[in-house]
Structure 1
Amino acid sequence: MSKFKFEKVLIWQKAMDLGKEINLLIDNFPKKEYYNLSSPLIRAVDSVPLKISEGAIVQSNPEQNKFLGYSIQSLAKVVTCVYKAIRRKYISEEQFNTYYEESFYLMNMMIAFKRNLK
C-alpha cells in the first residue's frame, strides 16, 4: 500500500529501477574508479528519484517543476558517467545501449510530466 503520492508516479518508479540496475553495474568497476566514476554515478542516479519525491510533496506546481528540473539534470550526469564507463571499457556496448536507452526514455517521460504541471 502506497502512502506517499510519489510512490504512485511512474517516473519515480522507473528512476528507482534504474538506480538499482546502475548500483549493480558499478560493482564491476575497478576500485581505482571509486571516487572518479562510481561514487559520482551512484550519487547522480540516486538523486533522480530523490528529487522527484521531494518535488512531489511540495504544494505548488512551480515548485514541483523546479525539482523535476533538478532530477533531469541528475539524469544527464548519469548518461555522462555511462559514456565515461564505456570509453574506459568498464561496460560493454550492449550495457551502454541499455542504460542509454533507459535514460533517454525516462528523460522523455520526465519532460512530458514536467510540461503537464504548468
Structure 2
Amino acid sequence: MAPQKSDEVRSVLEKVWLNSRPEALGRLATLESFSENLRSGTPDQLSWERALSAAHRLAGSLGMFGFNEASSCAAEIEALLLDGPTPDVAATVGLVERLGMLLEETQASSGEPERRGS
C-alpha cells in the first residue's frame, strides 16, 4: 500500500477507535462487575453471560484495531469464562485487571491509539 493510502487508513482507523473506545470501556466495566461478583462469591448466570459476551467482543474488536496484547488478554478471559459461571477467581480477576491497564494504554497523549504487542 502506498504510504499516503496507509496514512489515510491509519487516520480513519484512529477515528473509528476513538468513537469505539467508550463502548470498549463499557465492556470492560461489565467484566469488572463480574470479577467483583466472582471475588465476593456471588456470581450469577446473567452477569456471567454478559461477561462472556463482553470478553468475546473485546477480543475481536481490540484485535481489529491492532491492540494485540489487549485482544489476547480478552481472549484468555473468554476462555476462562467458557468453563462456566464460576471460573478460577484469581486468574479471572488478574486478567480483568490486566485488561483494564492495557485499555488505559490505548490512548496516547497525542490522541492516537497506541499499538502494543504487535
Q: Do both proteins adopt the same fold according to a TM-score greater than 0.5, normalized to the shorter chain?
A: no
Give the TM-score taking structure 2 as reference length: 0.42
Give the TM-score taking structure 1 as reference length: 0.42
Bigger Rg, which one: 2
